[in-house]
Amino acid sequence: MTPSTSEAPPAYLRIGKRRLRIPKRRAVRIALGIALVIRGVLPPAGFILLPPALTILSIDIPRVRRWRRRLVVWLGKRRRARHGRGSLG
């Protein structure tokens, strides 16, 4: 018998033009997310690291997933209100 080859392809987080591979192990993802949150609140990196940190944490923590989803919806509504509801681009 051969091992199953139906493994899911690796997950990536796209930041600008860069693609970062997200670890498969849950503990590693949580540790990486917490490390990025801590690093994101310290200077000089500032708040640049917070969005990727919250995205990685939202994979495993439902509360963070809800916060991130609410933020995405709120930003979408704000963007539509700013650019006008009738415009397509």
Range of the domain at 45: 12-82
Q: Is the backbone of residue 21 left (phi > 0), alpha (psi -120 to 50) or beta?
A: beta
Show pLDDT as tens, one digit a residue, over the chain (89 residues). 455 555 667 788 777 788 878 888 999 989 988 888 888 788 877 778 888 888 889 989 999 999 989 988 999 999 999 887 655 55
Backbone angles phi, psi at 44, to 5 degrees: -90, -10
Q: Does residue 65 fall inside a structural domain?
A: yes
Q: Would 1 be classed as within a structural domain?
A: no
Is position 5 within any domain? no
Decide if 6 is inside a domain.
no
- List the end-to-end C-alpha distance of the chain, in Å, as a whole number: 54
* Rounded distance between C-alpha atoms, residue 84 and residue 19, angstroms: 32
Does residue 61 sit within a domain?
yes
76 occurs within a structural domain: yes
Number of domains in the chain: 1
pLDDT recorded at residue 84 = 75
User: Whole-structure pTM over 0.75, yes or no?
Assistant: no
Q: Would you say residue 38 lies in a domain?
A: yes
The whole-number pLDDT of residue 11 equals 82
Whole-number pLDDT of residue 38: 87
> Is 51 part of any domain?
yes
Residue 36 near residue 29, CB atoms below 8 Å = no
